[in-house]
Chain A
């Protein structure tokens, strides 16, 4: 089909030497599984990208109580979906550098795994998207699908730049990540920050 279209299209361009074309839509509609996903960084790569000089990473995951979740929701105005927040403290030798917090956000059409890196005093150092998946809304609410996406093991090897497409089209809003940043800053202030 692709080849056929290529031939057709070449003819089309030859016949009409002008600057405006009408394209017959050749539409790729996804099957039942996610139709578009990009993996940018593994967790380890993201940690290194955020704190290149770090020599040690200490995992300090936080299990949130219901009360703590409610507090974060109240402070940030953003719903808290998960009980566990995965956090790493970055050190160079014995010197504390800052935090890396792994998080995920779900939109109507997208699921995004990302990290927020904080300086040691709590200001934002960096935000990196690890993985972006576009999928169907019904699918995204299924627990099984979520766990398959977010259960990626620490250190899992990803092959970068394979099957990554460049997409031009309707602008995708990053507001869910922006909301996630607000939520994690509240999480830092209320829970993580040494008091």
Chain B
């Protein structure tokens, strides 16, 4: 895939964010490529420590436990992701709502480690100056619909910062790349079923995320999507992929498009994204 034969390709895969994170980088100097890939994994690990719902001691878990009692100071990363989530909550009319964690716990998708249930919605989150966050009522926030994409963006920035010729980060299907003219990307529709072929191509849109609920039919946990408005699961007969400039946008928009289906054009345009869907 690389255009220069003297480049060394480094490709690694580690279990992170509850899935397999694959990071590829190429550079003439192998040591440089390895250091970059390691630093990119470190960036993903940092996001996991900040935003994991499963870890009771993550920054997000502490915010969920105490955010309604007093404003909590959070990291720049968590603040940025919550800010973007709030924006999406508004423009999607509440369809994208990170406070859906409470219902995901009820459905057995997420572990129960809080003494309270959420009693509000995304509009009960206030982002204060100085990197502080306050919940007006007890909330159970889950960033599962956005944090993976954010982690991919962070890792890509690290690879670019190391001056690699090309790089690709794939966190369980949410991916972004640079330096490849036309990487060979398949879309997994279901186990053993792939869409292999040209995807809508735009040189500026190098992030792709796919939301695909087919695994839910096999009884696997962790792949249920809820509509933020109805707080109910959405149809599992659709595979939605979104191409965008950043993976955080692509990741989040797949969730919105899965719910809205045909009515999603304005949001996609607003975020300069393209969606493509397949009925399963």
Q: Which of B226-280 contact A (CB under 8 A)?
A: 239, 241, 257, 262, 264-265, 268-269, 273-280
Besides A22-B276, A168-B210, A169-B239, 6 other CB < 8 A contacts? A22-B279, A28-B195, A127-B15, A165-B184, A165-B186, A174-B20
Taking the complex as formed, is B196 at the interface, i.e. its CB lies under 8 A from any CB of chain A?
yes
Once the chains are docked, how many angstroms separate the CA of A136 from the CA of B212? 19
- Nearest-neighbour CB distance to chain A for B38, whole angstroms, equals 9
Instruction: State which of B1, B209, B276 has its C-beta within 8 Å of the C-beta of A23.
Output: B276
Taking the complex as formed, is A62 at the interface, i.e. its CB lies under 8 A from any CB of chain B?
no
Chain B hits for A81, CB < 8 A: none
Once the chains are docked, how many angstroms separate the CA of A177 from the CA of B177? 26
Taking the complex as formed, is B183 at the interface, i.e. its CB lies under 8 A from any CB of chain A?
yes
- Nearest-neighbour CB distance to chain B for A114, whole angstroms, equals 8
Interface residues on A, range: 35 or more
Taking the complex as formed, is A190 at the interface, i.e. its CB lies under 8 A from any CB of chain B?
no
Instruction: State which of B2, B15, B170, B209 has its C-beta within 8 Å of the C-beta of A166.
Output: B170
- Nearest-neighbour CB distance to chain B for A17, whole angstroms, equals 11
Contact check, B195 vs A26: say whether CB atoms are below 8 A apart: yes
With CB as the reference atom, state the residue of chain B lying closest to A175: B18
Q: A23 with B12: in contact, given A161-B1, A169-B239, A173-B222 (CB under 8 Å)?
A: no
Instruction: State which of B14, B18, B187, B220 has its C-beta within 8 Å of the C-beta of A128.
Output: B14
Once the chains are docked, how many angstroms separate the CA of A161 from the CA of B194? 20
Contact check, B209 vs A168: say whether CB atoms are below 8 A apart: yes
Contact check, B190 vs A170: say whether CB atoms are below 8 A apart: yes
A-B contact pairs, 27 of them (CB 8 A): A9-B197, A13-B200, A19-B274, A21-B277, A23-B278, A25-B278, A25-B279, A27-B195, A30-B192, A36-B194, A38-B22, A41-B12, A109-B191, A129-B14, A134-B192, A161-B2, A161-B9, A161-B11, A165-B184, A165-B186, A166-B168, A168-B208, A168-B210, A169-B173, A169-B186, A169-B210, A170-B212
Q: Which 6 A-B pairs have the closest CB atoms?
A: A169-B188, A174-B15, A171-B172, A129-B13, A19-B268, A170-B212
Taking the complex as formed, is B112 at the interface, i.e. its CB lies under 8 A from any CB of chain A?
no
- Nearest-neighbour CB distance to chain B for A46, whole angstroms, equals 9
Q: A160 with B273: in contact, given A21-B200, A174-B18 (CB under 8 Å)?
A: no
Taking the complex as formed, is A188 at the interface, i.e. its CB lies under 8 A from any CB of chain B?
no
Contact check, A164 vs B11: say whether CB atoms are below 8 A apart: yes
Q: Which of A107-146 contact B (CB under 8 A)?
A: 108-109, 127-129, 132, 134, 136
Contact check, B185 vs A20: say whether CB atoms are below 8 A apart: no
Instruction: State which of A29, A164, A170 has its C-beta within 8 Å of the C-beta of B188.
Output: A170
Interface residues on B, range: 35 or more
Q: Mark A43-64, 1 if CB is under 8 A from B, else 0.
A: 0000001000000000000000
Contact check, A167 vs B173: say whether CB atoms are below 8 A apart: yes
Taking the complex as formed, is B189 at the interface, i.e. its CB lies under 8 A from any CB of chain A?
yes
Taking the complex as formed, is B78 at the interface, i.e. its CB lies under 8 A from any CB of chain A?
no
Q: Does more than half of chain B's interface fall in helix, strand or loop, or is it mixed?
A: strand
Q: Which of B201-227 contact A (CB under 8 A)?
A: 208-210, 212-215, 218, 220-223
- Nearest-neighbour CB distance to chain A for B37, whole angstroms, equals 10
Taking the complex as formed, is B93 at the interface, i.e. its CB lies under 8 A from any CB of chain A?
no
Chain A hits for B172, CB < 8 A: 171-172
Instruction: State which of A23, A128, A168, A175 has its C-beta within 8 Å of the C-beta of B185.
Output: A168
Contact check, A19 vs B192: say whether CB atoms are below 8 A apart: no
Chain B hits for A25, CB < 8 A: 189, 195, 278-280
Taking the complex as formed, is A67 at the interface, i.e. its CB lies under 8 A from any CB of chain B?
no
Once the chains are docked, how many angstroms separate the CA of A179 from the CA of B20? 14
Instruction: State which of B192, B197, B241 has its C-beta within 8 Å of the C-beta of A29.
Output: B192
Once the chains are docked, how many angstroms separate the CA of A164 from the CA of B168? 12
Contact check, A129 vs B15: say whether CB atoms are below 8 A apart: yes
Instruction: State which of A2, A129, A168 has its C-beta within 8 Å of the C-beta of B20.
Output: A129
Contact check, B268 vs A166: say whether CB atoms are below 8 A apart: no
